[in-house]
Amino acid sequence: MRIARTVGELRAMLAGAGDVGLVPTMGALHEGHLSLIRRARDAHGTVVVSIFVNPTQFGDAADLEAYPRDEKRDLDLTREAGVDIVFAPSAREMYPEGFATTVRVTGPLTESLEGAGRGSAHFDGVATVVAKLLIAVGPRAAYFGQKDAQQLLVVRRMVADLGLAVDIVACPTSRERGGLARSSRNVRLSPSDRERALAVPRALEVVATAVAQGERDVADLRARALEVLLAAGVEPEYLAFVEPDTLEPVREVAGPTLCALAAGVGGVRLIDNTVLSPGPQAEERHTIEEY
Ligand code: AMP
C-alpha cells in the first residue's frame, strides 16, 4: 500500500492504473468505511482511499478540533483491507494559498435537513472537496454511505451537473449491535449515552414497522417516532419525512419516503435514516435485530 501526501504524488502513483475505485473518508475508520472499501475492492483493479478531515465542511471550530483522528490505526486498517493507495493530504495541499473556488449545489438539496441545521456552507465544503478528490483521482466509481443520504444526493447532483464521468455507488448503512449506525463520532459517546442513542434506530424501526402495517399518515408516524426518542430523553434536531430524490416534505407515505433524523446525544451529533416503502417489499426490510 502506498501513501500519497500530494496530488502530484497521487497522479504519479496512478499513472497507468486502469480501473480505479475511490472511497472518500475523513478517517477514524470503522466497519462502515470498511464495508465501502470491500465493495470497491471487489469491483476495481486499483482502490484508492482518501483520508482528509475537511475543515471547510465543519461550521464549528470546536467540532473540527474534537473530530477523532488516528492515522496510524487507519493505515493499518486500510493495509489489511487490501487498499492500494491512501491519499492523505494536508489542508494546505487541498486548499493552497489564495484558494478561491467553491462548488455549490443550490436549492432544497442543500438548504434542508443538514443544511438547515449546520448551514448550507456545510455542503459547499462537501461538494468542493468531493469534486477535488474526483478530479485528482479520476476513478471509474466512487463509494458513499447511505447513512449520509443527503450528502449522497448532493454528490450525485454535483457529478451530473459538472458532467463528471464517474459512477456514484450508494452503500447500505453499517450498524452496531442494537442498530446504532456506525460513525466515527460514536467513540465520543459515554456508555450511558450510547444506550440512549439506541433510541435513534429504534425510532426509525418503529416508523418502518408502522408503515409495513399500513400506516401512511406522516403526522402519526412522527408522533410514534417522537414518543420513542423523548422517552429516552433524545430531542431530535430534525425528524423529516421527505421525497428521497428531492427532499421535498411529504404528508403521507404514498411511495418510497426517506425518514431522516438528527439528534444530539451527550454532545455528540448523530444522524440516521431509513427509506420507507409502502409496497409489499416493506416486510422484507432488515430489522435491527439482524445486526
Ligand atoms: P466519513 O468519514 O464519516 O466522512 O464517511 C466517509 C464515507 O463513509 C461516507 O460516504 C459515509 O457515508 C460512509 N459511512 C460512514 N458511516 C457509515 C456507515 N455506518 N455505514 C455505511 N457507510 C458509512
Whole-number pLDDT of residue 20:
98
SS3 state of residue 181? strand
Rg (the chain; Cα; Å): 19
**Is the CB of 125 inside a 6 Å radius of any atom of ligand 1?**
no
How far is the CA of 99 from the CAs of 91, 93, 103, 128, in angstroms?
Answer: 11, 10, 12, 11
Note whether 127 and 103 are within 8 A (CB): yes
Domain 184-285 fold is: Pantoate--beta-alanine Ligase; Chain: A,domain 2 (3.30.1300)
What DSSP state is assigned to residue 266?
Answer: T
Q: Spell out where 31-166 has E strands.
A: 46-51, 85-87, 141-145
CA angle 61, 63, 64 (to 5 degrees): 65
Nearest to 19 by CA among 104, 140, 174: 140
- Widest pairwise Cα distance in the chain: 57
**Is the CB of 184 inside a 6 Å radius of any atom of ligand 1?**
yes
Nearest to 202 by CA among 238, 172, 183, 175: 175
CB within 8 A of 262, min separation 6: which ones?
A: 113, 114, 117, 236, 237, 238, 269, 270, 271
Q: Element (H or E) spanning 211, and its range?
A: helix 199-212
If one residue of 26, 114, 123, 148 were mutated to test the ligand 1 pocket, choosing by the most ligand atoms within 8 A of its CB, it would be 148
**Is the CB of 57 inside a 6 Å radius of any atom of ligand 1?**
no
Whole-number pLDDT of residue 286:
52
At residue 214, φ and ψ (nearest 5 deg) are 110, -5
Nearest to 180 by CA among 191, 166, 194, 192: 194
If one residue of 25, 38, 153 were mutated to test the ligand 1 pocket, choosing by the most ligand atoms within 8 A of its CB, it would be 25
pTM here is 0.95
Q: Grid coordinates representing 115?
A: 443544511
Please state at what angle helix 121-137 crosses helix 7-14, rounded to 10 degrees. Answer: 40
SS3 state of residue 23? strand
**Is the CB of 183 inside a 6 Å radius of any atom of ligand 1?**
yes
Q: Grid coordinates representing 48?
A: 484508492
Residue with CA closest to ligand 1 atom 18: 32
What DSSP state is assigned to residue 51?
Answer: E
CB within 8 A of 181, min separation 6: which ones?
A: 32, 147, 173, 174, 175, 200, 201, 270, 271, 272
Per-residue pLDDT of the chain (291 residues; tens, 9 = 90+): 999 999 999 999 999 999 999 999 999 999 999 999 999 999 999 999 999 999 999 988 988 999 999 999 999 999 999 999 999 999 999 999 999 999 999 999 999 999 998 887 999 999 999 999 999 999 999 999 999 999 999 999 999 999 999 999 999 999 999 999 999 999 999 999 999 999 999 999 999 999 999 999 999 999 999 999 999 999 999 999 999 999 999 999 999 999 999 999 999 999 999 999 997 654 455 555 445
Structural domain spans, the chain:
2-171, 184-285
Which of the residues are catalytic? 33
**Is the CB of 277 inside a 6 Å radius of any atom of ligand 1?**
no
Q: Which atom of ligand 1 is nearest to the CA of 23?
A: 7
CB within 8 A of 119, min separation 6: which ones?
A: 59
Q: How many Cβ atoms are within 10 Å of 42's Cβ, its own excluded? A: 9
Instruction: Look at the block and give the residue holding cell 492504473.
Output: 17
Residue with CA closest to ligand 1 atom 19: 182
Q: Which atom of ligand 1 is nearest to the CA of 151?
A: 12
Tell me which architecture the domain covering 2-171 has in CATH. 3-Layer(aba) Sandwich (3.40)
Q: Which atom of ligand 1 is nearest to the CA of 174?
A: 20
